[in-house]
Chain A
Amino acid sequence: MWAWLFLLAPALAARHELTFEAGTTVISDPAASTWFGAGGEPQLGLRIGGAVLQHPTGFGLVVGGAWGRQAQAGYVTPSYSTLDGEYLQSDIRTRLLVDRFGLGLRADYDVRGVFFPLVRAEARLALVSWRLDESELGLRGAGVAPGGRFTGGFEVMIPDRALPVTVGFTLEAGYEIDAPAKLGQLGTIDPSGPVVTAGGGLRL
């Protein structure tokens, strides 16, 4: 589905990218940390991009899309006090799955064909799905959260970009800001938070 991105790119002037990413988005919404663990769980995903500009001065522009999945899971034990003492309700197994889709631009600068400082801006859409399980009963639902992500970092290409195919490694950090996902009568969960990602992949 991303093939059209490759068609947009000039043939040799820039690098298309196919990157596996690992990192995290530290969801800071208290509801998420209460129900689905402490937050900061690993996020894994794929990024694909097509170079649309490689200026002779070294500036490059890549249009791309990304998908990443972050899963948080845990156990919640409700409790309450009675005259007889503390009463524990049975554990609830919980799971929060956030699939994040992005579409945006990467701007970089070529330093000797090996090192590329970069900034990235993306429109994002987070699909937040939750699940609470206890005994054979289960509750589940989902919501969407549109937003944006802004990161900065660098890429290292080994060997350098002079070869037709190289391997690139990226390290980026920034922030994702999303509207809270509305989860019906449960309330909302805001998947926003600081982002750190590292990636590796092919540069064509």
Chain B
Amino acid sequence: MRALPLLLLAGCGSGSTWLDGALWDPSRVAPADDGLYALLPYAGGVVRLRPGAEPDVVDLGDARATDLQPLPDASGALVRARRTLCEDEDVDPGDPVDRCSLDGTVIDDRLLRVSGAAVDGSWSIRPELSRFQVSPDGAFAVALVDPSAHAYGGGLVDLTAMRVIDLRAGADWDVSIGFGADRVEFLHDAAGAGAGALVLSRNEVAQVDLTIPSPLPDVTFPLALDAGASVVPSDVRVTPDGEYALIAIQGSSDLYVLDLPGHAINILALRGAPSAMLTDASGDRTWVAYRGAAALDAIDHARFDVETWTVDTGFDRLLQRDGAIIAYAAGSGTAVWRIDPGAGVRTEFQLHYPVGELRVSPDGGFALTTPRSASPAFELLSLRPGADGRIDDRARPFGVDAPIADVAFAEDAAGTSAILLQAGRTEAYRLRWPELSFDEIELPGDPLAIGAMPTGGFYVTFDDALGRVAFLDADGTSTEVSGFVTPDLFREPTIAGEEE
């Protein structure tokens, strides 16, 4: 018996392999009302993770998932999947994919809507239509051409194509829009339901009615009269009444104002090329920031008059919470401005570190900034007036042990919680608002990222190849789910069968 260990040692070989794909991708998770969906790129699968429950494997049939994104209404996830078919006579469904010749390979790309850990919608999508945008209400998705995508089968790629998918009714259709479209702004009706879209492409903006399947847009707005000119839209904002679209142009101080019902185009000359735009519904104005000009312009939507607010520096970020507008320059300045457009009051916060990222709590009560440098610190800004009616314009710096890697907010009945992850540290910080309590919580590993679950609480992803996620309650209680990469891990990609 003493020889047995030697026998076992002698019988052991070893090798090292690089897998062409991650077992799971911590950056491709989709929080939804019914759990957290995670993509398993190597195995081509999707799992649903829930605290205290075994992972649910989503049955994708003979398709392999290649991408995953959350649905804005948190009702599930959108999964891009691929079925590989083979026209070779000697290859059958179920055979390994590499047995099929290149000429005989037929790719059937799919967009799948997943909810309740099951596929509840499937649409065929051409491989080159690989960029998706989903309307804020989750009712429509549009697929745009990715110019870098590979065209299978040697066919022509229509660079003016866009596919519209009605995620609720199930219908889908092609719309011919401008060349190389790269951005879609969804329009909504008075009830807030998705109704249309503006599709921005070079020299053109197309207005598409999403409620009526049609191969052509309702209206096409040319942005240039000279076919040789190159007018590339960089940003778009739609007025709250849906009457006008304001289009910023790359490298230009011209702001195109499209009269959507009147099919007219106006041009407003700005002081420079906008670096950020924001539409303030309550004030019925659009705010424009400039990187190179110490001013903010507020454009009213009735007469398109411009009111200029002088500031100390140029800004390139604008966001709005609780009616207030927050302006800052990411990566360069130390100034953060809060503007109350209704009261005409502005507050300037001077930070101790140049701003890297700024996050505002969902209720607009406070903001957290992380330094541009990798300094182990963050700063807290109080955005609400105190008992004296004034806003405390002092930024409160906090030193921590390591640079802040990620921040997420969650709300519950008691208030707002923020959890701050430290890079390479298992200790995270939890901030509760409005009582401003600040404590440390221990995570089960080195975290990568944190996000909020739609139903409350947080999820944290960890750098663990076999899959590791922790769900955190607002009180810091952690429930871990790990090792969820196993579905189909040892299964080779196989030829799909023809659909019945």
**A interface, CB within 8 angstroms of B:** 22, 30-31, 34-38, 40-44, 69-80, 82, 87, 89-92, 132, 134-135, 137, 139, 183-189
In the complex, 11 of the A-B residue pairs with CB atoms within 8 angstroms, ordered by the A residue number, are: A37-B14, A42-B12, A44-B7, A44-B10, A72-B15, A76-B19, A79-B22, A92-B466, A132-B466, A187-B488, A187-B491
Q: Taking CB as reference atom, which chain A residue is nearest B486?
A: A186
Asked if B153 CB lies within 8 Å of chain A CBs, one says: no
Nearest Cβ in chain B — how far from A167, in angstroms? Answer: 17
Q: Known: A78-B42, A137-B464. Is A189-B490 also a contact (CB below 8 A)? A: yes
Main secondary structure of the interface of B (DSSP, over half): loop
The answer to whether A185 and B14 have CB atoms under 8 Å apart is no
- The CA-CA distance from A145 to B463 in the complex, in Å, is 35
Interface size range on B against A: 35 or more
Q: Taking CB as reference atom, which chain A residue is nearest B7?
A: A44
- What is the number of contacts between chain A and chain B, taking CB atoms within 8 Å? 124
Across-interface contacts of A30 in B (CB, < 8 A): 96, 492
Top-7 shortest CB links A-B: A37-B15, A41-B13, A187-B491, A187-B490, A89-B465, A80-B22, A31-B490
The answer to whether B466 and A134 have CB atoms under 8 Å apart is yes
Q: Taking CB as reference atom, which chain B residue is nearest A90?
A: B465
Chain B contacts with A in 1-35, Cβ cutoff 8 A: 7-8, 10-23, 25, 27
- The CA-CA distance from A132 to B27 in the complex, in Å, is 23
Which of B11, B21, B487 sits near A78, CB closer than 8 Å? B21
The answer to whether A79 and B488 have CB atoms under 8 Å apart is no
Across-interface contacts of A78 in B (CB, < 8 A): 19, 21-23, 42, 465
The answer to whether B41 and A80 have CB atoms under 8 Å apart is yes
Main secondary structure of the interface of A (DSSP, over half): strand
Across-interface contacts of B7 in A (CB, < 8 A): 44, 69
Q: Known: A89-B22, A89-B23, A90-B465. Is A71-B13 also a contact (CB below 8 A)? A: yes
Q: Known: A35-B490, A75-B16, A186-B486. Is A42-B25 also a contact (CB below 8 A)? A: no
Q: Taking CB as reference atom, which chain A residue is nearest B463?
A: A90
Across-interface contacts of A70 in B (CB, < 8 A): 11
- The CA-CA distance from A186 to B488 in the complex, in Å, is 4
Asked if B445 CB lies within 8 Å of chain A CBs, one says: yes
Q: Taking CB as reference atom, which chain A residue is nearest B462?
A: A135
Which of A71, A79, A139 sits near B12, CB closer than 8 Å? A71
Nearest Cβ in chain B — how far from A34, in angstroms? Answer: 6
For A70, A74, A76, the residue with the greatest tally of chain B CB atoms inside 10 Å of its CB is A76
